Amino acid sequence: MAEPPGAQPPDARPPLVAVAHGSRDPAAAAATRALLAEVRRQRPGLEVLESYLDHASPRLAEVLAGLDHAVVVPLLLGAAYHSRVDVPAAIRATGGRAVQADVLGPDPLLLDALERRLAEAGAPAGDPSTAVVLAAAGSSDASAVEGVRELAAAWRQRGWWAVVPAYASAASPTVADAVADLRRRGAPRVVVATYLLFPGVFADAMATAGADLVSAPLADAPEVAELVLTRYDDAVSGGG
């Protein structure tokens, strides 16, 4: 990815500290590292650091403690408790020298990444004979749930038979219920688009929802890395 117009020279740019939720599944950490490798590939020379809120190390506060300034980019698909409470708390605990960027979703680039993963699994983009379940982790935060619904509505305009939101926890419908409802409605083919960044318990559960196919988590899709850098640039310029 080309350097954006007006970007600071490499030695003046603050480090990008990416913070993921973290998981006990080692595959999640491996996927996080793969995503950050893609970020570095798209922006050579930018210092990109890995951190987690829970279950894995290094923790965000540990990484920030060794920096004079940084931009923290939450590797989260929605604005909820972690982005509103946990990340700001870690920044305050280390002297507040870091700037927090916006979360990644919802964003049209994520639709491109979702279509990439579905195509890899065997569902061509915008197939009018395919109904899609946009399967998110779920949240008790109403705005986060609504964000998934809005993304599903926008995605429907790309030609699919239908696109409906569903959730692995804390909201309804469940992924299995959404799959079953689409079949009752006569959908010729039902697929699950995994609206998760990384593998783990939720991704594993989506594989048993009864769909014709299930896409992989977004992880290191180039569009996700591009979005990470967009959030970083917005924060550096004061727009994040």
**Better-scored residue on pLDDT, 231 or 2:** 231
pLDDT at 171 > cutoff 60: yes
95 with 81, same domain: the answer is: yes
96 with 134, same domain: the answer is: no
Is 5 part of a structural domain of the chain? no
68 with 166, same domain: the answer is: no
89 with 153, same domain: the answer is: no
Is 1 part of a structural domain of the chain? no
DSSP classification of residue 11:
G
112 with 209, same domain: the answer is: yes
Q: On the CB side of 30, how many CA atoms lie within 13 Å of its CA?
A: 6
45 with 91, same domain: the answer is: yes
- Rounded to an integer, the average pLDDT of 213-223 is 98
Q: Give tens-digit pLDDT for 189-199.
A: 999 999 999 99
With residue 190 as reference, give the H or E element that holds it: strand 189-195
Q: Which of 78-92, 99-113, 117-131, 220-234 has the least mean pLDDT? A: 78-92
pLDDT at 1 > cutoff 70: no
49 with 122, same domain: the answer is: no
Rounded Cα distance between 63 and 67, Å, is 7
CATH value at residue 171: 3.40.50
Contacts of 78 (CB under 8 A, 6+ apart): 103, 105, 106, 136, 139, 141, 143, 144, 147, 148
43 with 117, same domain: the answer is: no
Domain with 48 in it: 10-104+221-236
114 with 155, same domain: the answer is: yes
74 with 112, same domain: the answer is: no
